Chain A
Amino acid sequence: MTTKPPPAAIHVEGLQKSFQALHVLRGVDLDVPPGSIVALLGSNGAGKTTVIRILSTLLAADGGTATVAGYDVATQPADVRRSISLTGQFAAVDEVLTGRENLVLVARLRHVGSPGTVADDLLRRFSLTEAGGRRVSTWSGGMRRRLDLAMSLIGDPPVVFLDEPTTGLDPQARVEVWAAVQQLASAGTTVLLTTQHLEEAEHLADRIAILHEGRILVDGTLAELKALLPPAQVEYVEKQPTLEDVFLALTQEHA
């Protein structure tokens, strides 16, 4: 097999960043193949958000190179911004506007044709049609997150950054966001997401990169990462449902 790997949608090499004395990124290397979901896993303060901010042209790196969709983040920021969408740690939606107005706003700023139709389609796709005419300040956290994601999809950017997309969400809302992310990737969008929930990475990502002490410690598929540890021992244990299984089963029954 000599198939050449396709050019990476995101290519990061030797990325460095310090905040005063704090050396956050000490040479990060990362490749994200097009159309895949890669999870950047790390504890609080590991620098996940810093990586995302550099890749989305919000922050300049001190050293190293990074390209997104083939464009250099330092020298071609405008081209990068045309190719990406960023969903930050907090749902960056306008609370004074209605959900539909938020979508129309982004659609007009992205200069897409017929912003109204785009907004209505996205409201339907994220099951927000009913709430679409209400001000976002009255919405639940899960609905805001879905709106936030929907706003990120306008203009079909080939690369989407999701910075801790499910932080602060209840289990149902998290499952909804996961479904939306999977739908995105199946349509060919490259997704780089950060998370501190191991389970989220396990559930969503094609590849997982662990960021620790300013470097990528390991980078591979879940199976590859599991193979790093000694082979599994076979033990017989009683399968207890987790609290999450119980919670989801009970609440979905009554939904």
Chain B
Amino acid sequence: MSTHFAADTTVLLGRSMRHVTRSLDTIITTAVMPIAFLLLFVYVFGGAISAGPGRYVDYLLPGILLITVATGVSYTAFRLFLDLQSGIFERFQSMPIARSSVLWAHVLTSVLANAISLVLVLLAALLMGFRSGAGVLAWLAVGGILLVFTLALTWMAVVPGLTAKSVDGASAFSYPLVFLPFVSSAFVPTASMLGPVRAFAEHQPVTSIVDTIRRLFAEQPVGGDIWVALAWCVGALVVAYLLAMATYRRKAA
């Protein structure tokens, strides 16, 4: 059976990528809210925010990229929920295919769709004046962090996708993920925050990830932050994956 895993996953990936390309609105809406945040914070609030020297858009972009992924993964829960509801999930489950390929196809689709959305947001940021002198290695590091972050959030999205009772329930889980960056160093430096809020902001995962990406873009040494960021991402990935697989096994009997 496992010999078919790669072939089956590829076939199913092709299928759900068709879902994405035939409803491009899912990619566009994923990119629209983060771009709206960019515009709002750079042109409306940005003037009143003191985030240190340099362009505010440069400061803001890393957090916006994380918000993009957090919005995008809710579509994975949505697509998975629809598969279950339409009965096609059970059709796949009753066929002689590698069973986990059904989930992996959705996860890889999420990675590809989010990558497209991220590129759109990045292009918008470039139009708004974002510049980075980062070299190939730094860009690869940013891509790698975003990839692990996307995988972690996508496997989290699999759980509500498999268990939700309604479409709204399937995508509602991502709201807290979208708002987590607001209580982090994504929009304003944590030093300006009140004691307990600051303590939370400095110790939640988004701050370390945002700081790492910001330093990579600014060609500064990343220090220990990158390891904290990676530890959060990989840890979340492992926990989410195990949780998703346990849910899946219960669901698929």
Complex contact A82–B96 (CB within 8 A): yes
A23 in the interface (beta carbon within 8 A): no
Complex contact B94–A57 (CB within 8 A): yes
- Determine the chain B residues whose CB is within 8 A of the CB of A82 once the complex forms: 96
Complex contact B4–A111 (CB within 8 A): yes
Q: Which of A84-109 contact B (CB under 8 A)?
A: 84-86, 88-97, 101, 105-106, 108-109
Q: List the B residue with the shortest CB-CB distance to A79.
A: B96
B164-198 interface bits toward A, Cβ cutoff 8 Å, 1 = contact, 0 = none: 00000000000000000000000000000000000
A78 in the interface (beta carbon within 8 A): yes
Complex Cα–Cα for A111 and B6 (A): 13
Q: List the A residue with the shortest CB-CB distance to B87.
A: A92
Please give the distance in Å from A41's CB to the nearest CB on chain B: 22
- Determine the chain A residues whose CB is within 8 A of the CB of B87 once the complex forms: 88-92
Count, A-B residue pairs, CB within 8 A: 63
Complex contact B18–A101 (CB within 8 A): yes
- Determine the chain B residues whose CB is within 8 A of the CB of A93 once the complex forms: 86, 88
> Is chain A's interface secondary structure helix, strand, loop, or mixed overall?
loop
Q: Which of A182-230 contact B (CB under 8 A)?
A: none
- Determine the chain A residues whose CB is within 8 A of the CB of B96 once the complex forms: 78, 81-82, 110
Complex contact A78–B1 (CB within 8 A): yes
Complex contact A108–B11 (CB within 8 A): yes
Q: List the A residue with the shortest CB-CB distance to B252.
A: A58
Complex contact A109–B18 (CB within 8 A): no
Complex Cα–Cα for A64 and B8 (A): 33
Contact A84/B18 with A96-B23, A109-B8 known, Cβ cut-off 8 Å: no
B203 in the interface (beta carbon within 8 A): no
Contact A88/B90 with A97-B15, A105-B15 known, Cβ cut-off 8 Å: yes
A67 in the interface (beta carbon within 8 A): no
Please give the distance in Å from B83's CB to the nearest CB on chain A: 9
Complex contact B93–A58 (CB within 8 A): yes
Complex Cα–Cα for A94 and B19 (A): 10
B139 in the interface (beta carbon within 8 A): no
A59 in the interface (beta carbon within 8 A): yes
B253 in the interface (beta carbon within 8 A): yes
B90-116 interface bits toward A, Cβ cutoff 8 Å, 1 = contact, 0 = none: 111111110000000000000000000
Which of B18, B91, B92 has the most chain A CB atoms inside 10 A of its CB? B91
Please give the distance in Å from B188's CB to the nearest CB on chain A: 42
- Determine the chain A residues whose CB is within 8 A of the CB of B253 once the complex forms: 57-60
Taking a contact as CB atoms closer than 8 A, the residue among B23, B88, B97 that contacts A92 in the complex is B88
Q: Which of A105-126 contact B (CB under 8 A)?
A: 105-106, 108-111
Complex Cα–Cα for A91 and B87 (A): 7
Complex Cα–Cα for A240 and B211 (A): 83
Interface size on A, residues (CB 8 A): 29
- Determine the chain A residues whose CB is within 8 A of the CB of B88 once the complex forms: 92-94
Complex contact A86–B90 (CB within 8 A): yes
Complex contact B15–A56 (CB within 8 A): no
A151 in the interface (beta carbon within 8 A): yes
Complex contact A58–B94 (CB within 8 A): yes
- Determine the chain B residues whose CB is within 8 A of the CB of A57 once the complex forms: 93-94, 253
Taking a contact as CB atoms closer than 8 A, the residue among A56, A91, A96, A105 that contacts B94 in the complex is A56
- Determine the chain A residues whose CB is within 8 A of the CB of B93 once the complex forms: 57-58
- Determine the chain B residues whose CB is within 8 A of the CB of A151 once the complex forms: 91
Please give the distance in Å from B118's CB to the nearest CB on chain A: 24
- Determine the chain A residues whose CB is within 8 A of the CB of B12 once the complex forms: 109
Complex Cα–Cα for A98 and B88 (A): 15
Complex contact A95–B1 (CB within 8 A): no
Complex contact A95–B4 (CB within 8 A): no
Q: List the A residue with the shortest CB-CB distance to B102.
A: A109
Complex contact B18–A97 (CB within 8 A): yes
Residues of A in contact with B (beta carbons under 8 Å apart): 56-60, 78, 81-82, 84-86, 88-97, 101, 105-106, 108-111, 151
* Nearest 8 Cβ contacts at the A-B interface: A92-B87, A86-B94, A82-B96, A92-B91, A56-B94, A81-B96, A88-B87, A108-B11
Residues of B in contact with A (beta carbons under 8 Å apart): 1, 4, 7-8, 11-12, 15, 18-19, 22-23, 86-88, 90-97, 252-253
Give 16 A-B contacts (CB < 8 Å), ordered by A residue.
A57-B253, A58-B90, A81-B94, A86-B90, A88-B87, A88-B90, A90-B87, A92-B91, A93-B86, A97-B15, A101-B18, A105-B15, A109-B92, A109-B95, A110-B95, A111-B7
| Beyond A105-B15, A109-B97, 17 extra complex contacts between A and B, CB < 8 Å | A58-B252, A58-B253, A60-B253, A78-B1, A78-B96, A81-B95, A85-B94, A86-B94, A90-B86, A90-B87, A92-B86, A92-B90, A93-B86, A93-B88, A94-B86, A105-B11, A108-B11
